[in-house]
Every structure is written in structure tokens, then in C-alpha cells.
């Protein structure tokens, strides 16, 4: 009954959408049919591939760069609890500042090409993964570490075995949040200054009063992000099979 309700709601939304298009005009609302048409068009012309590729490349490289640093740094910090304690208020300040505000600076430094977007994505992703992983590393139970040391493990083993495995659920939580954010960061970066990418396509369409193009781009980005969300969900369930109940850490 509920599923029927959802389907009905979906149909109603589409109908309202079409109605709004007819009522307010094509300049304000593009009709769903036109959007589908444009999708077919840019797929055929290769434009879709070109822009999606650019955005995904920026997201992927930035994600690897920022994610790698964000995951590894807390393990390094673990070796100096004094440094971690001293850095604490700086962390708090850093969380408050929107990393997205760094976009113009990065564009100033690296130009409007792909590099600035990669740097931008890296900056955004870094903070997500850093704080998630840090929380995970901090959650290590000291008695587990002590027990393992008594069994004869050296520091390296303690780090790998305990710190890594304890932090893993937190890292996954961070990844789940950061991956879609990576795409959206790439898109936002492209809004501000770029020469290709889905964000560029969207903003360019707006500048040229191409409402259909604008809507098409937005729909594409949304589908991309939702698909990645679903994929990550599945991946996490498999890798954390050893956990008893709730799969997610409540971040």
C-alpha cells in the first residue's frame, strides 16, 4: 500500500512538473520530456561523456589524494598524543570554515583547468576523512592494545591490527559521506571557473538561458551522486561483515 503511495507520489510530482512547465513557460521550468530529449542528444554527440569524464576524473583524483592523506594522517598523529592534544582547538576552527570557500584561491593558484578542481576536491575530502578516521583511531580500547602487547606484538602490529581495524568502520562512515561530496565539490568548483565538466555545463547553460540544458545537467549530477551512494552502501555491508548489529557508525 505504501509502495503504491510512493509510486503515486512520483507520478504526481512528474505531472506537476509538466504542468508547471506549461504554466510558467520553458524559460523557468524545462519539461521532463525535453530533458530526456536533451539527454539523448548529448549522449549521441559525445558531450555527455566528455563532461562526465572531466567531473569524474577530478572527483576521483581529488578523492584519492585527499582521502589518502586524511586516512593516513591520524595514524601518524597517534604516535604523538601530545601533538594531537595541542592541535585540538585548531581542528575545531578548521571544521567551522567551509572548505568550499577555498575554491577561488585554488583557481587563482592552479588556473581553471582540471588541477584546481582536483585540489579543491582533495581539500574537501581530506577534512571529512581526517576527522572520521581520527575519531576511529581515538576510539581504540586501551585494554585491547595492552592485551595484544602482552601477547608479544610490536608497535607496528598494534597499529596495523588494532588501530586499523578499529578505525575501519569510522573510515567507511567517512568515505560514505565524502564520496558524494567529492562529486559535488567538483561540480561546485566547475561552477566557479572551468572549461569543462558537468558543473561547467550547468552554469554555462544558465548563462546562455538554456533552461533545458540546466535541468539536464542537474538531473545528471543528481543521478550520479545517488548511484554512488547506493554502491557504497553495498560495499560497506560486505567489508564489515564481522560487525554484530548496526553496520553504520553513528557519525
Partner 1 sequence: MRPGRALWDRLALAVAALALWQLASLAFGPHWFSPPLATGRRFVELFWNGELLRHAQYTLLAAAGGFLLGGVPGALIPFALRRAPRLGAVLDPYLVAGYGMPKLALAPLFILWFGIELASKVVLVASIVFFLVFFSTAAGVRGVDLRLVAMARVAGASERAVARHVVWPGAVPYIFAGLRISLPYAIGAAVVGEMISANRGLGYLIQAASQDFDTTNVFVGLLALTVLIVAVNVIVEAAERWLLRWRPVDVTPVRRLASAT
Partner 2 sequence: MSAAAPPVLEVQRLGKRFEARAGRAEAFWAIRDLSFVVGEGELLTIVGPSGSGKSTLLNLISQIDGPTEGEIRFREQAIAGPTSGALRPGWDRQFGYVTQEDTLLPWRTLGENVLFPLRVQGGLSAETRQRAARLIQAAGLEGFERYYPHELSGGMRKRGALIRTLVYDPPVILMDEPFGALDAQTRTQLQADLLRLWNLGRKTIVFVTHDIAEAIALGDRTLVFTRAPARVQSEHRIPIPRPRDVRNIYVADGFAEMYERIRKELE
- Residue 44 or residue 92: which is nearer to partner 1 going by CB? 92
Q: Would you list the DSSP string of 167-209?
A: HHHHHHHHHHHHHHHHHHHHHHHHHHS-SSSHHHHHHHHHHTT
Query: Residue 66 has which C-alpha cell?
Result: 585527499
Q: How far is it, in rounded angstroms, from Cα 128 to Cα 36? A: 35
Burial of 225 (0-12, 13-18, 19+ CB in 10 A): middle
CA-closest candidate to residue 250, choices 139, 120, 123: 139
When asked if residue 229 is in the footprint of partner 1 (CB under 8 A), the reply is yes
Given 151, 207, 209, 246, the residue binding partner 2 (CB under 8 A): 151
Which residues 6+ apart lie within 8 Å of 109 measured at CB?
Answer: 116, 119
Given 82, 154, 234, 238, the residue binding partner 1 (CB under 8 A): 82
When asked if residue 2 is in the footprint of partner 2 (CB under 8 A), the reply is no
Given 17, 69, 112, 149, the residue binding partner 2 (CB under 8 A): 149
When asked if residue 152 is in the footprint of partner 2 (CB under 8 A), the reply is yes
* Angle subtended at Cα 133 by Cα 199 and Cα 139, rounded to the nearest 5 degrees: 150
- Residue 162 or residue 192: which is nearer to partner 1 going by CB? 192
When asked if residue 100 is in the footprint of partner 2 (CB under 8 A), the reply is no
Say whether 25 sits in a helix, a strand or coil.
coil
Given 73, 77, 148, 228, the residue binding partner 2 (CB under 8 A): 148
Given 89, 98, 244, 250, the residue binding partner 2 (CB under 8 A): 244
Given 27, 88, 143, 246, the residue binding partner 2 (CB under 8 A): 143
Backbone torsion region of residue 112, taken as left when φ is above 0, otherwise alpha when ψ lies between -120 and 50, otherwise beta: alpha
**Contact partner at residue 226 from partner 1, partner 2, none, CB < 5 to 8 Å by partner kind:** partner 1
Q: Which residues bind partner 1 (CB under 8 A)?
A: 1-2, 5-6, 9-10, 13, 28, 81-83, 85-93, 95-105, 107-109, 124, 127-128, 130-132, 135, 177, 180-181, 183-184, 187-188, 191-192, 199, 202-203, 205-206, 211, 214-215, 218, 221-222, 225-226, 229, 251
Amino acid at each position: 500500500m505504501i509502495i503504491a503511495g510512493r509510486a503515486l507520489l512520483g507520478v504526481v510530482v512528474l505531472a506537476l512538473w509538466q504542468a508547471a512547465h506549461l504554466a510558467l513557460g520553458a524559460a523557468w521550468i524545462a519539461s521532463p520530456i525535453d530533458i530526456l530529449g536533451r539527454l539523448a542528444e548529448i549522449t549521441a554527440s559525445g558531450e555527455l561523456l566528455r563532461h562526465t569524464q572531466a567531473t569524474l576524473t577530478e572527483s576521483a583524483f581529488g578523492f584519492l589524494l585527499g582521502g589518502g592523506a586524511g586516512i593516513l594522517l591520524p595514524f601518524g598523529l597517534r604516535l604523538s598524543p601530545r601533538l594531537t592534544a595541542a592541535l585540538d582547538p585548531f581542528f575545531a576552527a578548521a571544521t567551522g570554515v567551509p572548505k568550499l570557500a577555498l575554491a577561488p584561491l585554488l583557481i587563482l593558484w592552479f588556473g581553471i583547468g582540471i588541477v584546481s578542481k582536483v585540489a579543491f576536491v582533495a581539500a574537501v575530502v581530506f577534512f571529512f576523512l581526517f576527522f572520521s578516521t581520527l575519531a576511529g583511531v581515538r576510539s581504540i580500547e586501551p585494554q585491547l592494545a595492552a592485551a595484544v602487547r602482552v601477547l608479544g606484538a610490536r608497535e607496528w602490529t598494534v597499529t596495523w591490527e588494532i588501530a586499523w581495524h578499529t578505525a575501519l568502520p569510522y573510515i567507511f562512515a567517512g568515505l560514505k559521506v565524502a564520496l558524494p561530496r567529492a562529486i559535488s565539490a567538483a561540480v561546485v568548483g566547475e561552477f566557479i571557473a572551468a572549461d569543462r565538466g558537468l558543473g561547467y555545463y550547468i552554469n554555462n547553460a544558465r548563462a546562455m538561458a538554456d533552461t533545458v540544458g540546466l535541468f539536464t545537467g542537474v538531473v545528471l549530477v543528481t543521478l550520479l551522486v545517488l548511484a554512488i551512494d547506493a554502491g557504497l552502501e553495498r560495499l560497506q555491508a560486505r567489508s564489515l561483515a564481522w560487525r554484530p548489529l548496526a553496520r553504520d557508525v553513528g557519525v
